[in-house]
Structure 1
Amino acid sequence: MSAEIDGDAAGDVAGDIDVLVLGGAGVDTIVYVPELPLPYADSYMIDGGIRARAGQTGDFVALGLAALGLRTHHLDFLGDDPEGDLVRALHRDRGIGLTAIPQPAGTKRAVNMVSPDGRRLSLYDNSRSRPDDRFPEDTLRALAAASRHAHVSITHPCAEALPVLREAGVGISTDLHNWDGENPYHEAFAYEADVVFVSVTALPDPHATMRRIAARGRAEVVVATAGAEGAYLLTGGEVTHVPAAAPPAPVIDSNGAGDAFAAAFLFGRLRGEPPRRCAEYGALAGAYACTVPATESAALSRAGLPGAATAPGAVTAPAAAASQSGA
């Protein structure tokens, strides 16, 4: 199985990568529905159209990082199909390095139903992967060696890549999305990452879950996003609330808000900013994402983050030490 390196990706592999994004590449079909939950009916007329566009969780994190000026590279499986071509075009057009591993089962797909108030219901096609899929170890090691940080999606087979990333000494982050705190599939990600993002959506006790992640794993920072209620930040044994940022335009839908939050948080972390400032960056990027239609792919630029207009500098000594130790 040979890796397919697109566009300027070869230069990224040979040079420095700020963030390596693993997994989460795919295509969503967006359907604007009159309400959620959608009452049963024989048919509905969809005035807003039904559109397919590249962009699942890994794509959107990569997009957000690149928009903030970080050198970003994305590694995942893609099919030789029209959906894979959409993903390749997104990365090529946005200048994001991409290494695509051939996937005979096809590119990952989902259907997102979006209501007028911006809520989303996603239907994921989990047939687009195979149990024995693995990232080629030589490719993974080469990319990890060139990277300062790795953001790992919870899509298969990213869990199997975690030991290689840890051995390479890069900082690791992950987003558990709507984890219920119990599903064992998520535990490898939750307990191996230095920075863990999770939504409060399915958590009966978010603070308890955050503390459990920190106690059982390597995380020095745990962030629980709560939509319009803001986010909760656990660092140094203390949980604090980070208010939501005011959206700069009317809210259209929430698709990609969590990915935008993670990207901006990591931008701040790699600049050596304190966790609170990183979370405030995340809140601004998440609010901006809620103003972008799900049919489009756009992310907040560095100009939208107060105090971040200058180019990102080297990681400060404490942050670099934490990334290497996995503390």
Structure 2
Amino acid sequence: MNATYDVLVLGGAGVDTIVYVPELPLPWADSHLVERGIEARAGQTGDFVALGLSALGLRTHHLDLVGDDPFGDLVRAFHRDRGLPFTGVPATAGTKRAVNLVGPDGRRLSLYDGSRAAAEDRLPAGLVGSLASASRHAHVSITHGCAEALPVLRAAGVTISTDLHDWDGENPHHEPFAYGADVVFVSCAALGDPERTMRRVMERGRAEAVVATAGAEGAYLLTAEGLTRVPAVAPAGPVVDSNGAGDAFAAGFLFGRLSGEDPPRCALYGAVAGAYACTVPATRAAAIDRAGLLREAARLTASGADGAPAPGAGRVSPPGP
């Protein structure tokens, strides 16, 4: 049976309020003048992964809880205006919100509103199963209501990926996702020993690949072949915002995986997509397209700058945060 969708994205729909601040950390003061304005726009982790996958030509459907409120309208418009199929399940606590403080160098500090998750809100198992059965792969956000969907996805027979974001390696909320996915993304930001955490994910779970992103230092890829370093890709333009870079990396990696590429090539695609995202202001939503991704990956490979490990490459230890 031919799948209707390449990827089903679960969770991670919401609205961010973007505030460009003069520096991070922001010094204490009674007030600050914000020269570049304050703007609320749809686009959280699931929204950006869905956007990135679609821009790369993958048929994508996004499913999440969303409120019957003005912020939910922004989320629905985000998908409608970009031709992204979206199913919104009513959320009694309202649409997920966050405030992102963005410094002049593109660094970001996110403040997430934890009150927008009602215990009774769930993604209906029947709906999840129906969409999963029509998909090749599912990417699951760690947002409210998604952990309960993992057994349904496994029963549907799809492969699963997840992004643990700034997991510290200890918070139990992340464990069902970490140990229940075939591909696991995580940031090095809060990991005291990234390699130990990556290996524990593989040992305790079902992951075939674990990727730890380290910003300008690149990323680290762990597979059955061992741990290798993925060099950062120099952005083609000025770095204006790191918001969405991890989501873009995940989209690029998954594009490679679903295209039949080996893990190092997938990681190169992720690095290229993540670098592109850093050139896009947080108040916009744009992702690299397939032609741009393949062109840049080919250029890096031809120049020998793709960081592909040599056969038999030795052990690589990722840095601390």
User: Structures share a fold, TM > 0.5?
Assistant: yes
Which amino acid counterpart does residue 284 of structure 1 have in structure 2?
V
Q: CA RMSD in A?
A: 1.3
Q: For the Cα contact (< 8 Å) 2:181–2:207, is it kept in 1?
A: yes
Q: Conserved in 2, the CA contact under 8 Å of 1:200 and 1:226?
A: yes
Name which of structure 1's ranges 121-130 and 216-225 shifts more when overlaid on structure 2.
121-130
What is the distance in 1 between the residues matched to 2:37 and 2:218? 31
> Among 161, 183, 190, which residue is 1:195 paired with?
183
Instruction: Please report how far the alpha carbon of residue 308 of structure 1 lies from its aligned counterpart in structure 2 after TM superposition.
Output: 9.5
* Alignment correspondent of 1:109: 97
Please state if 1:256 is matched with 2:247: no
Unaligned runs of 5+ in 2: 298-321
Aligned counterparts, 1:274-289, within 5 A: 274-289=262-277
Partner of 2:68: 80
Normalised by the size of structure 1, how large is the TM-score?
A: 0.89
Contact in 1 for aligned 2:92/2:121 (Cα 8 Å): no
Q: Whole-Å Cα distance in 2 between the matches of residues 237 and 183 of structure 1?
A: 28
Contact kept? 2:45, 2:247, Cα under 8 Å: yes
Q: Residue in 1 aligned with 2:314? A: none
After TM superposition, give the deviation of residue 109 of structure 1 in Å. 0.4
Q: What SS is found at the alignment partner of 2:294?
A: coil
Residue number in structure 2 paired with 1:132:
120
Match for 2:28 among 30, 40, 62? 40
Match of 1:304 in 2: 292
Q: How many equivalent pairs are there? A: 296
- Of 28, 33, 48, 1:60 maps to 48
Structure 1 residue 103, shift from structure 2 partner: 1.1
The answer on whether the counterparts of 1:302 and 1:308 sit within 8 Å (CA) in structure 2 is no
- Unmatched 5+ stretches in structure 1: 1-13, 310-327
Tell me how far apart the structure 2 counterparts of residues 80 and 164 of structure 1 sit (CA, whole Å): 26
Task: Give per-residue Cα distances to partners, 1:262-292, cap 9 Å, x unaligned.
Answer: 0010000000000000000000000000000
Counterpart in the other structure of 1:97: 85
State the Cα distance separating 1:303 from its structure 2 match. 1.1
2:156 maps to 1:168: yes
Give SS of 1:251's match. Answer: coil
Question: Per-residue deviation at 1:104?
Answer: 2.2
Question: Which amino acid counterpart does residue 103 of structure 1 have in structure 2?
Answer: A
Asked if residue 183 in structure 1 is aligned to residue 171 in structure 2, the reply is yes
SS of 1:117's equivalent in the other structure is coil
Greater displacement, 42-51 / 14-23: 14-23
What is residue 224 of structure 2 aligned with on the other side? 236
Instruction: Tell me the equivalent position of 2:194.
Output: 206
Contact 2:17 2:100 in 1 (8 A): yes
Q: Which residue of 2 aligns with 1:30?
A: 18
Structure 2 equivalent of residue 16 of structure 1: 4
Q: Deviations over 1:75-127 (max 9, x none)?
A: 00111111111111111111111010011211000000000011111110111
Report the AA paired with residue 272 of structure 1.
G
Match of 2:143 in 1: 155
Contact 1:112 1:121 survives alignment (8 Å): yes
- Which amino acid is 2:146 matched to? C
Q: Which amino acid aligns with 1:255?
A: N
SS in structure 2 at match of 1:305:
helix
Query: Judging changes above 3 Å, is the alpha-carbon distance between structure 1 residues 210 and 237 closer, same or farther for their aligned structure 2 residues?
Result: farther
Task: Give the corresponding residue for 1:50.
Answer: 38
Could you list the per-position Cα deviations for residues 8-33 of structure 1 after superposition, in whole angstroms to 9, with x for gaps in the alignment?
A: xxxxxx96110000000000000000
- Where has structure 1 moved over 3 Å in runs of 4 or more? none
Cα shift at 1:237: 4.4
Match of 1:218 in 2: 206
Asked whether the 8 Å contact 2:272–2:296 carries over to 1, the reply is: no
What is the CA–CA distance in structure 1 between the aligned matches of 2:34 and 2:295, rounded to whole Å? 43
Question: Counterpart of 1:90 in structure 2: which amino acid?
Answer: F
Cα-to-partner distance string for 1:21-52 (whole Å, 9 max, x where unaligned)? 00000000000001111111111111100000
1:291 and 1:141, CA in 2 relative to 1: closer, same or farther beyond 3 A?
same
Sequence identity, in percent? 74
Give the Cα–Cα distance (whole angstroms) in 2 for the partners of residues 104 and 198 of structure 1.
Answer: 29
